[in-house]
Structures are given as structure tokens and as C-alpha cells.
Structure 1
Amino acid sequence: MSVILVTGSYDHEIRFWEAWSGICSRTIARSQETGQVNRLAISPDKRLLAAAIHKKVNIYDIASAESTPIITFEGHTMNVTSVSFHSEGKWLVTGSEDGTIKIWDLRSQQLHRNYDNGAPVNDVCVHPNQGELISCDQAGSIKQWDLSENLCSHELTPAGNVPIRSITLALDGSCLVAANNKGKCYVWRVNDETSNLPRFQAVTKFHAHSKYITRCLLSPDAKYLATCSADTTVKIWSITSHYEFKQEKILTGHQRWVWDCAFSADSAYLVTASSDHTARLWEMASGATVRQYNGHHKAAVCCALHDGAS
């Protein structure tokens, strides 16, 4: 499978799609267990799918037709809101409304590390250097966690206590964008620890939507930012070398909240998931919907796409 496209929904189902035909090729029905699917992540080698389901994380074998997870990580006491793989796929990081960030070892299948964030965690990403995590939370904080020191090494509070909903880091680690509940985006240049400059250098902020931003995501080539919103739209912003963000397109078509998005490896396509029960594939150049994925019976709230080299 060169293109892996997956969606998760409040109907409890996880669906795999043929990206171009729009056909659902496999459904993990999860009829034996409860809990909505909150977030999805595909391992770098395309072997594993991690699904944050209520308080736990299920790991599925992508190549298998089995609906039973090969590993289940339990330990969070509230909704798991974020899940991402380390670059070598050996461990997984999760964030939760219980105020903790946990690192799980996929080989030993054990909890490897636990960070107490002190407020419900909304998003976590792994820095490309693989030595740090960056998280954002309901109290309005963005924190950098140092994996070697086991502590929080930097904290940003760009809008006081307004909850930060989503964060995204450029693939080369040079730029961080955060989006909050009031529709604002904040942008920092991330300087090297060895430079004499501040680690996080605020460069700009802008009002992207008049309602909640549910997800912000930088494209792999770092030329675009996508913002998903409660206003039913996705906005595409172009980014200059001087960190100027210009609205390029508004992707319209979803009927309700847009919850999540994922770029193709070449930054030419975007997948989105919405409360209108559908997911869509958009062409970035035209802003048109190329494919709609129909099959979920309730809100589609998360999606994952891996079409790059494994």
C-alpha cells in the first residue's frame, strides 16, 4: 500500500480508504469495545497505526486484516487527545486531558516516561531532532520538554490563559505555529540551542478564523499552513521566507466543523475530516475537492495520511 489514508469517527469505527477511488478498503468496527476515536497516527515505516481511543491507545498492524489491536497502552485516566510516533518508530508519545504526557516503548510495550503538565494537554509533537517534545494545553501554555533531562525547558503563554488547541512544527524544526480557541495563530522562529538567540523567537500573529481553530498544520515543504475551524472551512496560508502569512485559499464544502487535516508528502494534497461524517481530499493548487470519502455514520474527527517513502 503506497498510500495509507485512515479516518476515525465518533461512530467508533476506523476506516482505511483507497485515496483515488474513494473506496473504503477496510473497516475496524470495534464492535466489542466502547470509546470514540480521537486521534490517529501512522508509523514512519507504514507498519503500524496508533489510534487514541478515549483513555487508551490501540496499535494496529496495517498489513493485517485483523480488527484486534496488537498492543493496547492503558494508563491515561481521561481522553487521549494526541498521539505521535518517534522517527524510528520505536516509541510513541501521547497527551491527555488528564494533564500528562506519556512516552510508550513499542518494543517492551511498557510506559517509558511520564511528564506532569499540570493542565489538560491538547496536542503534542516530537521535535525533528527527536530529543524534545512540544506540547500545548487548556491553560494556554506551550511547553518544550527535554527528553534527556526529563523536564520542561521552555514555556510560552502567547495569549494568557486562552486554551491553545493545536501546534505544528516545520519538518526542519525551524518554525512553530500554535492556534487557539479564539481563532488566532501565533508563530515563532525556533533557533538552534547553540545559537545566542532565544530558543523561541516570536515573529508574527494573525487572526485566522472568527471561531475555534481545531487544527493547524504546516505542509511538509513548510510553504503553507492549513487551519481547520468550527466555521466549516479550511484556510490555506502561504508563508514567505520572512514569516509573512498570506491567505491563499478558503477550502469550502464541508457542512460542519472541520476537525483534522493531513498533508500528502509532496504538499500537493490535503485530507480533512469533518462533523458532516465525511472526509475530503483537496488539491492544493486549485483548492478543489478531488474526492469525498463517505461511510462514517457520525462525525469524522481525525485522519492520517502517509504516502511518502517508508
Structure 2
Amino acid sequence: MITTLSGHKNSINDLEFNPRGDLFVSGSEDGKVIIWDWKVKKQRSKINFEDAVSTISIHPKLAEIVVGTAGGRLETWSLAKGTLLHQITESGPLISSTGYDRNGSRIISALEDGTVEIWENGVSLHLKTFSGHERIVESLDFSSNNKFLISSSSDKSVRIWDLKTNENVHNFDIGNHRVQ
């Protein structure tokens, strides 16, 4: 059976299932994050933002999401209650991608200006900014051992960052292709 879920009034920019697979979240150009209950195929709650929601990620272990907006707002929210946990940034460049490390203690955010930022989760402490991409960073992730960070950009490069030394340890030029 195919189910239609209605709730957004504009394009969906990002969506993700929680680790158990019973919930998923969607973020849209309409400035809404909707938390969906996949078992009953209905909205559980809705979070409204002033700007378009450009990226969302679900915590690997807790009922928490991180949300990035076109206006540079970066926040963590409770999936269970739909309430704000921490405001990390209030404004800035568009946040194009977000994520958690494997244990959820750090948050990464990719920005329109080509930088990548790392934050300590729970206290909104800025830990590091990585610079090197010439255009918007479109995708990023921690390695499975949390020792490296990989980022890709519309400048057609992929970079690997060593999180212990904070150095860019490898660059891949992907030529005429694009990584998202």
C-alpha cells in the first residue's frame, strides 16, 4: 500500500529515519520540520522556523535532531517532545549539511561559505572550523572511528580531515563530477 503524507507546503530539502525506523523527520523550504510516526503514518509534531530548513540529522542514540537553516540557524531539538534543546548559532551563512559523530557527542555543520564547523553537543561549544573548500560544502560525515571527517563541495573536491591534528590530510579532485 502506498501512503501519501501531507504537511509541507514547499520542497523537502532533507529527511532521515531514526535508528529504530519508527520515526522520520523532514525539513522543507516552507520553514517546517515535521516529525512523522512511520507506524501510524501521521505527523507526531511540527517545528516552525523563520527560514527554509536546509538540513536535518538524527542523533545516533538519543531522541534528538540537529537542524540547519538557510539563515544560518543551527539548533538541537527533542524528537520526543518537539522542544528546543540548544541554539548553537542564531544566524550566518546557509547551513548545507549537518551530522553527529558516531556517539553523538559532536555535531558537524557544513556552510555555504565553504567551511566546516565542529561543535560539542549539549553545550553548544565551538571546537573547530575547517577551511579549504572554495564553494559550498554539500556533504560531510565522520569516519566510523570518529578520527576523520570527510567533506565534499561544489568546487568538485573531497577533503579528508584528521580530527586529532586538525589537518587536511587528503584531497580528491573529482573532475567534472559533483558529490552531494
Query: What is the TM-score when the length of structure 1 is the normalising length?
Result: 0.54
d(CA) in 2 for partners of 1:28, 1:129: 34
Q: What residue ranges of structure 1 are gaps of 5+ in the alignment? A: 1-24, 192-197, 216-310
Shift of 1:89: 3.6
d(CA) in 2 for partners of 1:103, 1:185: 27
- Partner residue in 1 for 2:25: 50
Q: Is the 8 A contact 1:103 1:114 kept in 2?
A: yes
| Runs of 4+ displaced beyond 3 Å | none
Shift of 1:36: 1.2
**Helix, strand or coil: the match of 2:118?**
strand
Shift of 1:148: 4.3
**Alignment of 1:77 onto 2:50:** yes
- Partner residue in 1 for 2:13: 38
Shift of 1:33: 4.6
Q: Give percent identity, aligned residues only.
A: 17
**Helix, strand or coil: the match of 1:176?**
strand
Greater Rg over alpha carbons, structure: 1
Shift of 1:135: 0.8
- Partner residue in 1 for 2:64: 91
- Structure 1 157/33 Cα, relative in aligned 2: closer, same or farther at 3 Å? closer
- Structure 1 166/33 Cα, relative in aligned 2: closer, same or farther at 3 Å? closer
- Partner residue in 2 for 1:104: 77
d(CA) in 1 for partners of 2:65, 2:122: 16
- Partner residue in 2 for 1:166: 139
- Partner residue in 2 for 1:5: none
Task: Note the aligned Cα RMSD (angstroms).
Answer: 1.8
d(CA) in 1 for partners of 2:121, 2:39: 31
Q: Is the 8 A contact 2:14 2:55 kept in 1?
A: yes
Query: What is the TM-score when the length of structure 2 is the normalising length?
Result: 0.89
d(CA) in 1 for partners of 2:149, 2:8: 37
Q: Which AA in structure 1 matches 2:171? A: K
Q: Is the 8 A contact 1:43 1:89 kept in 2?
A: no
Q: Is the 8 A contact 1:145 1:153 kept in 2?
A: yes
d(CA) in 1 for partners of 2:2, 2:61: 26
Q: 1:141 aligns with which of 111, 115, 130?
A: 115
- Partner residue in 2 for 1:126: 100
d(CA) in 2 for partners of 1:156, 1:86: 22
Q: Which AA in structure 2 matches 1:159? A: H
Question: Higher relative contact order at CA 8 Å, sep ≥6: structure 1 or structure 2?
Answer: 1
d(CA) in 2 for partners of 1:33, 1:163: 26
Shift of 1:171: 2.4
- Partner residue in 2 for 1:60: 36
- Deviations 1:62-87, CA, capped at 9 Å, x for gaps: 111x3x3111111x222212111112
Q: What residue ranges of structure 2 are gaps of 5+ in the alignment? A: none
Q: Which AA in structure 2 matches 1:49? A: F
**Alignment of 1:153 onto 2:127:** yes
Count of paired positions: 178
**Alignment of 1:204 onto 2:180:** no
d(CA) in 1 for partners of 2:87, 2:8: 26
- Deviations 1:221-256, CA, capped at 9 Å, x for gaps: xxxxxxxxxxxxxxxxxxxxxxxxxxxxxxxxxxxx
- Partner residue in 1 for 2:4: 28
Q: Is the 8 A contact 1:144 1:155 kept in 2?
A: yes
